[in-house]
């Protein structure tokens, strides 16, 4: 299946990908970063999946129930019409995956096929019968399937053949439990599918109703916000970049990375998007997570963590999985967690600046003590080369975006201190802020191309420079900003979309090519609007919206040759940039 053929369901602790053919091909339990029990997305059917659909040929259509993460798929064939509702109820003592089959017309033969394979598709569980279905156990992992439908074992698979008539309903509830649960031989009473459906609907619609955005792209913005909420790990407040690992940036290539972690950069971008639409609870929760995660030493700040704040994210290859469409290797963990990326400081400070007025005085004062330590550490390292926003593995360089975000860190710290009257070495911070600004404008701008470049000492361009005006480094009317926008259009646009940088000319440590970066393309929309090219901005925005799949989801990149989404899915940064672009276009229409 193509990446865009999948839809997302989740319970704000983990998530599953459901294909438009009725198969769940990816699920990590008990949380986003856990090993997958359905891994056929990156392998074969023997690596785990759960298909539920009519057994005879059929047509299908799908949608999310309005303002929810409940997926409704309707199947029609000569026997009749049936509907399946797939969802994961949030806020339960155990994590559940629920599939409700509803007969709408006629009498439709159905087939279910469940293949549980723990440890990224490698471990076949021991399956036994229970009063309400089956139990599958393998080491620390155990799952119960509760249903009234008939079940039988066949070729190390659990099969279910039944008929559904108009007005009938059959539920399947898959429940994950801990080793302790199964030692006690219980995960509690099975949940009621109908009650869980209503509770899940109420949870998502109540959350969606808090959205303040009322612009012309409300449906797309709200779907993006719901997706970002689904990528939030509710118990801690951490936010992951995507629910998948190793979906390739180039089909058949090796640019395959694990995105099931909390990047401080992506998270702060997410927070800014959520706060703009009135979601301050998530921001407050994340700041509590950040305080715990950073702990006591600012020089130990990492660019990413696990959802529980884990620091050790050792990268290794899953040798037994061939990869999505043979795009090997499949990686778990991420070695970039050990990189120095200076921009992280700016993004964290920008988030705290945006939240400053919404916090109580005691919390603001406590937070500023943490921020002051971060800025003081940044004073000693901002001049160093780093690996940059794109986490290149071609060696550290003086990346322009990294320096600009170091400037942002000092700028926001100064403004917080001045707003709240906190004690801080403002004269020293202002001097450092000015030094960085002058250095970037002198060493990072290529007069011949009339553009900011990727890093000091190169003429190569980088789409991250589209963020300079968005963070306030220079105003959009500055000729250097306008020159950069024009240069990006001339040299980094292919087939109407934006590349991060030219991979054929940049030593990034990765062999091969990649798709066009969707977030960068949305950044260009915002820039075009800011410099008055509203028609061009709207045309590009509409083109980008057309690349989302049928339920409004985007991956990291788009392959314009194959006309396919590529990269991990759904991608937080793409949806964040969509919200930002919609905000800029809407603001232009209302001014």
The pLDDT, as a whole number, for residue 217 is 94
* CA distance from start to end of the chain: 44
- Whether the CA torsion 338, 343, 346, 350 is positive or negative: it is negative
pLDDT in tens, 353-394: 887 766 656 666 777 888 898 999 999 999 999 999 998 877
pLDDT at 586 over 60: yes
Rounded mean pLDDT of the chain? 92
pLDDT in tens, 433-442: 999 999 999 9
Q: How confident is the model at residue 253 (pLDDT cuts 50, 70, 90)?
A: very high
Give the tokens for residue 331. 């990686």
DSSP for 150-207, written as a single string = --EEETTEEEEEEEEETT-EEEEEEEEE-HHHHHTT---SPPPHHHHHHHHHHHHHHH
pLDDT in tens, 21-76: 999 999 999 999 999 999 999 999 999 999 999 999 999 999 999 999 999 999 99
Give the tokens for residue 246. 């190793």
Please name the residue that has the structure tokens 């999985």.
Answer: 321
The pLDDT, as a whole number, for residue 503 is 82
pLDDT at 185 over 60: no
Residue 181's Cβ-count burial label (10 Å; 0-12, 13-18, 19+) is middle
SS3 for 506-545 is CCCCCCCCCCEEHHHHHHHHHHHHHCCCHHHHHHHHHHHH
Q: Which pTM does this prediction carry?
A: 0.95
The pLDDT, as a whole number, for residue 39 is 98
Please name the residue that has the structure tokens 């007069």.
Answer: 447
The pLDDT, as a whole number, for residue 417 is 92
Coil, strand, or helix at residue 256?
A: coil
**Which residues, including other chains, have CB under 8 Å from residue 486's CB and lie 6 or more apart?**
450, 451
Q: Do 454 and 399 contact (CB within 8 A), yes or no? A: yes
* Pairwise pLDDT comparison (455 vs 177), residue with the higher score: 455
Q: Compute the distance between CA of residue 21 and CA of residue 212 in angstroms, rounded to an integer.
A: 35
- Whether the CA torsion 559, 564, 566, 571 is positive or negative: it is positive
Q: Compute the distance between CA of residue 429 and CA of residue 414 in angstroms, rounded to an integer.
A: 7
pLDDT at 485 over 80: yes
Residue 310 per-residue DSSP state? -
Give the tokens for residue 116. 């549980």
Which of 213-222, 365-374, 454-463 has the lowest average pLDDT?
Answer: 365-374
Angle CA 44–49–50, to nearest 5: 150
Give the tokens for residue 334. 């991420």
How much of the chain exceeds pLDDT 90, in percent? 78
The count of other CB atoms within 10 Å of the CB of residue 523 is 24
The pLDDT, as a whole number, for residue 361 is 61
Strand locations in 20-140, DSSP E? 23-28, 36-38, 49-54, 59-64, 71-77, 80-87, 95-115, 126-130, 133-138
The pLDDT, as a whole number, for residue 79 is 96
Of the candidates 371, 309, 381, 370, which has an alpha carbon nearest to the alpha carbon of residue 340?
Answer: 381
The pLDDT, as a whole number, for residue 290 is 79
Q: How confident is the model at residue 180 (pLDDT cuts 50, 70, 90)?
A: low
The pLDDT, as a whole number, for residue 128 is 93
Q: Do 151 and 145 contact (CB within 8 A), yes or no? A: yes
pLDDT in tens, 75-132: 999 999 999 999 999 987 889 999 999 999 999 999 999 999 999 999 999 999 999 9
The pLDDT, as a whole number, for residue 544 is 98
The pLDDT, as a whole number, for residue 188 is 57
The count of other CB atoms within 10 Å of the CB of residue 135 is 20
* Pairwise pLDDT comparison (367 vs 488), residue with the higher score: 488
Which of 188-192, 195-199, 386-390 has the lowest average pLDDT?
Answer: 188-192
pLDDT at 184 over 60: no
Average of pLDDT values for 282-294?
80
Average of pLDDT values for 185-199?
81
Q: Do 581 and 526 contact (CB within 8 A), yes or no? A: yes
The pLDDT, as a whole number, for residue 363 is 64
Task: For the sheet with 564-566, list strands across it.
Answer: 516-517, 557-559, 564-566
Average of pLDDT values for 241-261?
95
Q: How confident is the model at residue 9 (pLDDT cuts 50, 70, 90)?
A: very high
pLDDT at 534 over 70: yes
The pLDDT, as a whole number, for residue 310 is 92
pLDDT at 520 over 70: yes
Give the tokens for residue 327. 């795009």
Residue 410 per-residue DSSP state? H
The pLDDT, as a whole number, for residue 202 is 97
Q: Do 241 and 573 contact (CB within 8 A), yes or no? A: yes
Q: What are phi and psi of 415, to 5 degrees?
A: -70, -35
Of the candidates 478, 479, 565, 480, which has an alpha carbon nearest to the alpha carbon of residue 521?
Answer: 565
pLDDT in tens, 553-565: 999 999 999 999 9
pLDDT at 273 over 90: no
pLDDT at 332 over 90: yes
């Amino acid at each position: 299946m193509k990446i865009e053929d999948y839809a997302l369901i989740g319970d704000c602790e983990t998530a599953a990908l459901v294909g438009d053919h009725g198969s769940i091909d990816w699920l990590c339990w008990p949380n986003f970063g856990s090993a997958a029990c359905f891994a056929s997305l990156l392998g074969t059917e023997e690596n785990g999946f759960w298909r539920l659909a009519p057994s005879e040929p059929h047509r299908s259509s799908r949608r999310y129930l309005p303002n929810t993460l409940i997926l409704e798929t309707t199947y029609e064939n000569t026997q009749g019409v049936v509907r399946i509702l797939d969802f994961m109820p949030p806020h339960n003592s155990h994590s559940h995956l629920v599939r409700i089959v509803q007969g709408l017309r006629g009498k439709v033969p159905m087939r279910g096929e469940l293949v549980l394979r723990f440890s990224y598709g490698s471990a076949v569980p021991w399956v036994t019968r229970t009063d309400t279905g089956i139990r599958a156990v393998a080491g620390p992992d155990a799952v119960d399937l509760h249903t009234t439908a008939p079940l039988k074992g066949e070729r190390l698979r659990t099969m279910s053949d039944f008929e559904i008539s108009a007005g009938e309903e059959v539920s399947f509830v898959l429940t994950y439990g801990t080793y302790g649960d199964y030692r006690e031989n219980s995960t509690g009473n099975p949940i009621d599918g109908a009650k869980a459906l209503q509770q899940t609907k109420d949870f998502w619609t109540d959350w969606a109703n808090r959205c303040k955005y009322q612009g012309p792209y409300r449906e797309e913005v709200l779907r993006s916000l719901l997706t970002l909420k689904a990528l939030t790990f509710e118990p801690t407040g951490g936010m992951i970049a995507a629910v998948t690992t190793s979906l390739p940036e180039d089909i058949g290539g090796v640019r395959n990375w694990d995105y099931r972690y909390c990047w401080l950069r992506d998270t702060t971008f997410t927070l800014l998007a959520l706060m703009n639409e009135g979601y301050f609870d998530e921001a407050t929760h994340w700041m509590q997570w950040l305080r715990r995660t950073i702990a006591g030493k600012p020089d130990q700040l990492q660019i990413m963590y696990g959802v529980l704040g884990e620091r050790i994210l050792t990268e290794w290859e899953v040798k037994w999985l061939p990869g999505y469409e043979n795009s090997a290797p499949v990686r778990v963990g991420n070695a970039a967690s050990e990189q120095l990326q200076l921009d992280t400081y700016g993004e964290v400070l920008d988030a705290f600046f945006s939240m400053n007025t919404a916090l109580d005085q005691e919390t603001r004062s406590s937070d500023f003590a943490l921020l002051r330590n971060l800025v003081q550490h940044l004073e000693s390292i901002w001049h160093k080369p780093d690996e940059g926003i794109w986490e290149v593995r071609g060696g550290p360089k003086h990346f322009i975006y990294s320096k600009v975000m170091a400037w942002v860190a000092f700028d926001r710290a100064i403004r917080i201190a001045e707003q709240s009257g906190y004690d801080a070495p403002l004269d020293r911070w202002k001097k450092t802020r000015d030094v960085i600004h002058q250095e970037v404008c002198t060493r990072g701008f290529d007069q011949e191309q009339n553009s900011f470049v990727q890093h000091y000492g190169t003429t190569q361009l980088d789409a991250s420079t589209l963020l300079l005006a968005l963070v306030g480094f220079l105003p959009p009317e500055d000729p250097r900003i306008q020159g950069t926008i024009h240069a990006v259009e001339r040299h980094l646009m292919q087939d109407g979309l934006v590349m991060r940088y030219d991979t054929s000319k940049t030593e990034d440590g990765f062999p091969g090519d990649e798709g066009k970066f969707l977030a960068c393309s949305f950044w260009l929309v915002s820039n075009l609007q800011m410099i008055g090219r509203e028609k061009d901005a709207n045309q590009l925005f509409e083109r980008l919206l057309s690349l989302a799949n049928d339920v409004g989801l985007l991956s990291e990149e788009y392959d314009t040759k194959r006309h396919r989404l590529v990269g991990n899915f759904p991608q937080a940064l793409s949806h964040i940039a969509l919200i930002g672009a919609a905000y800029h276009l809407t603001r232009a229409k209302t001014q």
